[in-house]
Chains A and B, each alone.
Chain A
């Protein structure tokens, strides 16, 4: 018989290296005389989309379009170290480094522009839609490229180098005090599953995933990260197990270590929660790893809701579910017998 159930999973997750380990990202920025800008950083985009997000951050700050920004990454000859593409840290950590560097170059550009526009301070100068000008005065406004070109002729360049460090502390083992991670990510997911009581096979039909990302700098990428994490979570919950025998992996192939295919992945609905992280670039924080955390609990809870068995060791394979169902049946029958003897 096929039985359906739903389950809820909630998770929070400390992002970054944490525990006082120095979590440093760095960036070089140059604003060019053709109205474009370059961001150089060691942060490697391995498909999670960091280069896109970093371009968006720089563009937003300079009043440009993301395609006006060249992001150079992962070259030890030319880019400053920004740590690993791990720990859900590039949007937050490297994003902060890029933002600081862009603001540094921008500050000098605005100071130069204030002088050119005969303003007493840079506060009245804005960068907008590829132009630079005095706020509220369309007559004192010109393309950014012209201003940077003029500056260059006068020997002024707008180049900066900045780094950003996430400050954490180890936890005090005596009293449990400390700030081991910053910031934290939060999420909740609901899973609907169908369990075949004959075969023990679980099919995840649907996942609704709500995640607090601080601010979704790129909503499409947020959805992609969540869907990817859900698929990995489904694999973690139901399929994936490294089998070891005397230290040797017994299943080092995709035919014996199964990961989800398009047929195993549920319908995924994402809900993006934007609760501003005030220390993050434009309020953003990371999402990569935390989106997988609630999936496991949601799926396992849904299995319990469907067939009333608690699976406490992952993955919840058909064998484990059938064994748990048989155990439940046995306990139920023995309980019934004892009851009839008692009466």
Chain B
């Protein structure tokens, strides 16, 4: 089927299968491999992207369902030269170890900060609780989100 997707403020015309997952279209057709596949069943959060500003598991969304929505992947958040405050604080505080959960973590955190500039520690943990991490113990991730919140608020 023919669809149009808007990803990171760019429009793409694509021919996809009706049962093709958004995750696969992003990674394999658009080459946006920053989005990771972990469990593939909506439990780990590695494939988190933003859909109209809300964090969703892209493994549970069909590409066709994303038509007409504004999508953002980690590639749209920032880059090496212009990192988002979240990306900066994750690097500076050592919140990245193996890095596999990191894109999803950043996007869940961004969804939080976009609607709440002064989240409490509990609110941060709640917002990140759909993203699993086996390396960091979440300690530095939570601290990095706190620091980024301070910077975004400034």
A36-63 vs B, Cβ < 8 Å mask (1 yes, 0 no): 0000000000111100000000000000
Near A by CB (< 8 A), chain B positions 78-111 give 93-94, 96-100
A263 touching B125 by the CB < 8 A rule?
yes
The reply to whether A223 and B140 contact each other, CB–CB distance below 8 Å, is: yes
- The yes or no answer to B67 lying at the interface (CB within 8 A) is no
Q: What chain A residues lie within 8 Å of B134 (beta carbons)?
A: 228, 231-232, 259
A220 to B94, CA, bound (A): 6
User: Would you call A76 an interface residue if the criterion is a C-beta within 8 Å of the partner chain's C-beta atoms?
Assistant: no
How many A-B residue pairs have C-beta atoms within 8 angstroms? Tell me. 81
**Distance, CA A229 to CA B126, complexed state (A):** 21
Q: Is the CB of B94 within 8 A of A224?
A: yes
CA distance A254 to B98 in the complex (A): 19
A237 contacts chain B at the CB level, 8 A cutoff: no
Residues of A within 8 Å of B, CB-based: how many? 25
Interface residues on B, range: 20 to 34
Binding site for B on A (CB under 8 A): 46-49, 220-221, 223-224, 226-232, 253-255, 259-263, 265, 268
Not counting A255-B43, A262-B128, a sample of 13 additional A-B residue pairs whose C-beta atoms are within 8 angstroms of each other reads: A47-B96, A48-B97, A224-B94, A227-B140, A228-B136, A231-B134, A254-B39, A262-B124, A262-B125, A262-B126, A263-B126, A265-B138, A268-B139
Between A and B, 19 residue pairs with Cβ closer than 8 Å are: A47-B99, A49-B97, A226-B137, A227-B140, A228-B134, A228-B137, A230-B137, A231-B134, A231-B137, A232-B137, A259-B132, A261-B130, A261-B131, A262-B126, A262-B129, A262-B141, A263-B125, A265-B137, A265-B139
